[in-house]
Amino acid sequence: MDPNVTLDPTRLVIAALVGLALLLVLIIKFKIHAMLSILIGAVVIGLIAGMPFGDIVTAVDDGIGNTLKGIALLVGLGSMFGAILEVSGGAQTLAVTMVNKFGDQKAAWALGITGLVIAMPVFFDAGLIILIPLAFSLAKRTKRSSLFYVIPLLAGLAVGHAFIPPTPGPVLVATMLGVDLGWVILVGVFCGIFAMIVAGPVWGSICGKKYDVAILEHVAGQEDFDESKLPSFGAVVGIILIPLVLIVLKSLASVIPALSGAEPVLSFLGQPFVALLIATLVAMFLLGTRHGYSLEELEKIMTKSLEPTGLILLVTACGGVLRYMLQYSGLGDVIGNAVSSANLPLVVVAFLVAALVRICVGSATVAMTMAAGIVASMPGLSAYSPMYLACVTAAVAGGATVCSHFNDSGFWLVKSLVGLDEKTTLKTWTIMETLVGGTGFVVALIISFFV
């Protein structure tokens, strides 16, 4: 924004309200694609606010460029990594081994942990489709309601998908807020564990006792997994941990004296794109070529995995446009002053904004994108510690998870896969999602008080 141009604060607020309202109406009422709706809403904010045309174009260019340069490689590499894990049977290996270790009586805990770990490299939908047969198999074997096992699995998948990189959501928010992914992983794991326990085994046990949901007929006769054809448990866990450990070590190297000597090397290896590249190459060898896949087959698998990333990247980029439009117009300062006068912690503001968008629009990605854009436009973010900004990231993720209902595609996916009616889905899945987001937010808020 030209420093010589000062826009009227009242006009800025009106512009924001009109632009955001238009964005929501386009998505909810007219079913316009989220990417177009966010872009239109951002441009309308700039026009109504009175920004010079050149500054509007600059905000669009900077929003797209600066946002994509932080996440494009990560989303692409993460998709490839997850695809190899998926086709190789790595997800089933983790689930079957954990269930065998925990036993049928505590299998709900095993499924919750498995879902949490698998959802980090694998998209939620894919992870659910891969692992839900195991939950049904357990329900058939123990003669219990399928919800005893499905809810913990769903909770783990929701937690891993929302809170812990390299899944795209928290990567997007962290990039917009300028916080190191290592701190986001540490806070996300802490928030995610509590959220998984509350929304998974605990809520799953309540649902399982209250709703006797039989497994669907077309899966009742399915055979159990052939464990002899699955990759080893140690290889799968080791490969999943590679990017997480490297990224966390990079963050810790700057604050732990014992690691200072290795800081240059760890700083390079812990760059998120380097860590994910290493993990992907190791997965190609240990889970790919060693299990009978040719390089040509792996190339096709990884190419196909990139198909859904275009949508994610474009919606995310338009969220960056919204952020820069708010920032360059000066509205970020207005919002920041309003938050300061309201005496609300930034963690709470981030959660509330994301939750409101989630309830209205349904898409967790759009909720994260809009909330991160609004929070990132506020002045003084650099004054907060990396750990506090990681808590803000977790709060955005929590708000973008709560209250899944009829306008969320995940609601209908779960309803159809589990064989529930709409009312039961609201009473089980919707509450589970709210418990995941709410618990994660509360833990992030508590951590923020100490950092």
How far is it, in rounded angstroms, from Cα 246 to Cα 287?
20
pLDDT of 331 over the 70 cut: yes
Task: Determine the Cα–Cα distance for residues 411 and 17; give it in Å rounded to an integer.
Answer: 29
Q: Count up the domains in the chain and report the number.
A: 1
Q: Do residues 402 and 356 make contact, with C-beta atoms less than 8 angstroms apart?
A: no
* 3 within a domain of the structure (yes/no): no
Cα–chain center distance at 239: 20
> Which pLDDT score, from 0 to 100, does residue 152 have?
96
29 in a domain, yes or no? Answer: yes
Sign of the CA dihedral running 153, 159, 162, 168? negative
Decide if 196 is inside a domain.
yes
What is the reported pLDDT for 435? 97
Rounded distance, CA 284 to CA 229, Å?
Answer: 17
Share of the chain above pLDDT 90, in %: 40
- Nearest of 178, 165, 179, 173 to residue 244 by alpha carbon: 165
Q: Give the model confidence (pLDDT) of 81-122 as tens digits.
A: 888 988 888 888 888 889 889 988 899 999 999 999 998 888
Length of the chain: 451
Q: What is the pLDDT of residues 264-280, one digit of tens each?
A: 898 899 898 899 999 99
The pLDDT value given to residue 228: 62
pLDDT higher than 70, residue 332: yes
- In a domain, residue 1? The reply is no
pLDDT value at 222 more than 70: no
**Inside any domain, residue 291:** yes
Nearest-CA neighbor of 397 among 368, 423, 433? Answer: 368
DSSP calls for 327-353? HHHTHHHHHHHHHHHHT--HHHHHHHH
Answer whether residue 1 shows pLDDT above 80: no
pLDDT at 370 over 90: no
Nearest to 116 by CA among 51, 189, 66, 201: 189
Q: Which residues span the domain enclosing 422? A: 9-448
Q: Is the pLDDT of residue 225 over 60?
A: no
Do the Cβ atoms of 447 and 391 come closer than 8 Å?
Answer: yes
- Give CA separation, 153 vs 63, 81, 85, 201, 292, in Å: 36, 21, 18, 9, 29
Provide the pLDDT confidence category of residue 5 given band limits of 50, 70 and 90: low
Please answer whether residues 346 and 393 qualify as being in contact, where contact means their C-beta atoms are separated by less than 8 angstroms: no
Average pLDDT, the chain: 87
φ, ψ of residue 334 in degrees (nearest 5):
-65, -45
In this model, does residue 213 exceed pLDDT 90?
A: no
Alpha-carbon 124 to chain mean position: 9
How high is the pLDDT of residue 402? 96
Kindly report which listed range (5-14, 32-41, 212-221) carries the lowest average pLDDT score.
212-221
Is the residue at 159 inside a domain? yes
Sign of CA dihedral 312, 188, 179, 379: positive
**pLDDT at residue 43, rounded to an integer:** 94
Model confidence at 219, in pLDDT bands (50, 70, 90)? low
Residue 276 lies in a domain: yes
Statement: residue 407 has pLDDT above 80: no
Q: What value does the mean pLDDT take over residues 154-179?
A: 91
pLDDT at 295 over 70: yes
Q: Is 227 contained in some domain?
A: yes
Which of 207, 186, 197 shows the shortest CA–CA distance to 144?
207
Mean pLDDT of 14-37: 86
Name the maximum alpha-carbon separation found in the chain: 72
Is a pLDDT exceeding 80 seen at residue 193? yes
pLDDT of residue 217: 61
